[in-house]
Structure 1
Amino acid sequence: MIEAAMIWNEPNNKSHWDPEVDPDWSIFADTVTRAGGAIAAINPAVTRVLGGMSPIDPLWLKRIEAHGALDAVDVIAVHGFPLDWNLWSIHDWPQRIAEIEAVTHKPVWVTEVGVGSFGAEEVQVFGLRRTAELLIGRVPRVFWYSLFDLPMEWGAETRHREAEGSSYYRHFYMGLIRPDGTPKPALDDYAKVAGEMGLMQWFHYQDPRLDDAVAWMKRLGTKKLRTGLSWADSFRPDAIGWFDRQMEALAEFDVTVTFCFTPEHLGVQPHHTSAARDPQAFADFCAWMIDRYAPAVANTAVA
C-alpha cells in the first residue's frame, strides 16, 4: 500500500519549516538523516523521498547535500505552481526539472503541481492539460494538487493568512471538485490522465471527505495518491483509530505518505513548523508508522 515515504513537506518554505529556528537547515538535515535511516531499518523496500522543495531551488538542495542528508533518501521531490504562486511560466517545467537533475543523480519526482480556479475555471483546464503534456513521461511520478477544494472555514497553512491577499485565497481553489461536491470542468481532463498522474490530497484529522475521495478516485481511475500522516495529530484523542481508518480506506492505491508537522509540545518553538527539540523523536514516529502500515514482508518461500 505504501510505496514511498516523504520526509517533511516543503522544508524550504517558511510556512512549513521555521528558518528562524533552523537558519542553515542543519537540524532539518539531521531530521532527514535520522528519519531516512529509521524508515529503511523497518522496510528497506519503501522509497524515501526528500520533502518536496518549494520553491524549486538547486542551491538549497546543495546545502542539504553538504549536511549529508541526501545519503538518507532515494528521491528528490519538487513542488510547483507557476500559474498561482511561482514567478515563472508553466512552459518552463522541463527547465525547472533539469535544474535539479543537474545537481543530483537521484530521480526527481513532482509531488505537488497544481493550477487553481481562483481567477477562472478555464485557466485550470488549460493548466492541467499543459502540465500533463510537460510532465507525464518526463519524471517518474507526478501528483496533481488537489482533488478537493480546501473549505474556506478550515484555513490554509500559511504564516500570514489573509494579509497575503490573493496569494492566500488561492489556496482554497486548487481542487478539481468544489466544496459543495460538484466537479469543475478540469475534472474531465484529469480523468483522461488519471492512470499516469496521481493525486495529492491532504486529509485533516477525522476528515469527513475521506470516503468521498476514495469513491472519486476509483471512478476516475487514479492509481497513485500522495497524502500525509501528521506527527502532531498522533497526540490527538483516538489518533491511531483515525490513522487506521485512513490507511485502510486507501489500501487500493499506491500511496506516498508524507510525515510532517511537529507537535507543539515537542518543538523548539510551540508551532508545527518548528524543528523538534529531539529530531530522533520524529524518526521514531516515522518508524512506528512504517512498521504499522508498511512492514517488511518476510521471505517465506521454500528453498
Structure 2
Amino acid sequence: TKILGGISPIDADFMALMKQYGALDHVDAVAVHGFPLDWNLWQIQEWPQKIAEISTVTDLPVWVSEVGVSSFGAEEVQLWGLRRTAELLLGNASRIQWYSLYDLPREWGATTRHREAEGSSYYRHFYMGLLREDGTPKPALEEFLRYTPEMGLVQWFHFEDPRLDDAVAWMKRLGVTNLRTGLSWADSFRPNALDWYDRQMEALADFDVTITFCFTPEHRGVMPHHTSPPLVPEEFAEFCATMTRRYAPAMAASPVRAVRASAA
C-alpha cells in the first residue's frame, strides 16, 4: 500500500495540485496530520470538516496518519483530547494513528522546525506520549484501550533505541495492530545501520506497519538539514527502493521475515 505523505496544514488546494500533477494516480490513499489543541489554527470539532474537504478532491481513502494531544498544560487535557478525537474521527477516516506511545526524552531534543525560543510550541513535542519519559502511564493510556484496534499508534524509534522491546510489549498489551514509524535515510550512513533496521523491523513484524522514509543526511542534501531535498534524488529513491525490497511482503524470500509495510 502506498500512501501520500501526511499533509499539515490540511489543505484541499494542495491536494488538488497533487491530483493535477498526477501524484494521486500512484498512491492507494492520502493522509493528513492534525494537532488542533497544540499547533493548528483550527478547533478540534472541525475534524469532520477537514476530512470532508479532502474527500471532495479525491475518492481515495483518507488516513489520519498522525494526530495527538500533548499533556504540556495538563494531563487531563490530553485525556479529554483523546476522547474527543476518537468521537470525531472513528468511522470518518480509513485509518487513525495516534501520536505517540512515549514522551520524547528531553535530552534527545526534538526534530522539528520549532525552536526553543518559541516557547511552548517547541516544548509540547516532549509531552505527546501516552507514557511519560520514565515509562509510567498517563491517564490517557487507559482511555486509549477503548479505541484499539480501530486506532493505531505512531512511534518514532531513534537509532538503536533502547525503548524498542518495551514499546512492542506495551503495544501488544494495548491491543494495537497498526503502527506508523520511520526508517531514516540519514541513519543509513551510520555503522551497523542495516543491523538496526533489521532488528527494528523484526521486532515490529506482528504489526501492520506504515513506514515513513525520512531525514536527509546533511551531506547529501541541497542544504545541510534533515528536511532538505536531496542533492541527487535518485539516491533517496534507491534508499526507499532498497528498504521496500527488504521489508515489504513481496520480499518474503528475504533473510529477514517480511512485514506489512507502507510508504507514507
Length-normalised TM-score, structure 2: 0.92
Cα distance between partner residues in 2 of 1:295 and 1:216: 25
Which of 183, 207, 211 pairs up with 2:161?
Answer: 207
- Please report how far the alpha carbon of residue 290 of structure 1 lies from its aligned counterpart in structure 2 after TM superposition: 1.1
SS state of the match for residue 52, structure 1?
Answer: coil
Q: Is the CA contact (8 Å cut-off) linking 2:96 and 2:152 kept in structure 1?
A: yes
Aligned to 1:105: 59
Deviates more, 1:274-283 or 1:243-252: 274-283
Residues 165/214 of structure 1: CA separation in 2 closer, same or farther (3 Å cut): same
In structure 2, the residue matched to 1:135 is 89
Q: Deviations over 1:280-299 (max 9, x none)?
A: 2211111111111114168x
Please tell me whether residue 280 in structure 1 is matched to residue 234 in structure 2: yes
Give the TM-score of the pair, scaled to structure 1: 0.81
Equivalent residue number for residue 79 of structure 1: 33
**Other-structure match for 2:148:** 194
Q: Which of structure 1's runs of 4+ aligned residues deviate more than 6 A?
A: none
1:120-177 CA-to-partner distances (Å, cap 9, x unmatched) read 1111111111111111111110000000000111111223410111111111100000
In the alignment, which of 158, 168, 177 is matched to residue 122 of structure 2? 168
> Residue in 1 aligned with 2:77?
123
Match of 2:17 in 1: 63
Q: CA RMSD in A?
A: 1.2
Residue 211 (structure 2) pairs with residue 257 (structure 1): yes
Query: Who is 2:6 aligned against?
Result: 52
Identity among equivalent pairs (%): 71
Question: For 1:295 and 1:134, how far apart are their aligned partners in 2?
Answer: 33
Structure 2 residue matching 1:280: 3-state secondary structure: helix
Provide the secondary structure at the position in 2 that maps to 1:216.
helix
Match of 1:31 in 2: none
Which moved further from structure 2: 245-254 or 255-264? 255-264
**1:210: Cα distance to partner?**
0.4
What is the deviation of 1:200? 0.3
Query: Which structure would you say has the larger RCO, counting Cα contacts within 8 Å and 6 or more residues apart?
Result: 1
Aligned to 2:68: 114
Tell me how far 1:65 sits from its aligned partner: 2.8
In 2, Cα distance between equivalents of 1:63 and 1:165? 34
Cα distance between partner residues in 2 of 1:86 and 1:138: 20
SS of 2:31 mapped into structure 1: strand
Structure 1, unmatched stretches of 5+, are 1-46, 299-303
> Residues 189 and 92 of structure 1: is their aligned pair in 2 closer, same or farther, counting only changes over 3 Å?
same
Choose from 187, 200, 217 the match for 1:233. Answer: 187
Equivalent of residue 152 in structure 1, options 106, 127, 144:
106
Give unpaired runs (5+ residues) of structure 2.
253-264
State the one-letter code of the partner of 1:296.
Answer: A
What does residue 25 of structure 1 align with?
none
Q: Cα offset for 1:71?
A: 2.1
**Residue of structure 1 in register with 2:255 after alignment:** none
SS at match of 1:49: coil
Letter in 2 for 1:283: A
Partners of 1:160 and 1:94 in 2: how far apart? Answer: 27
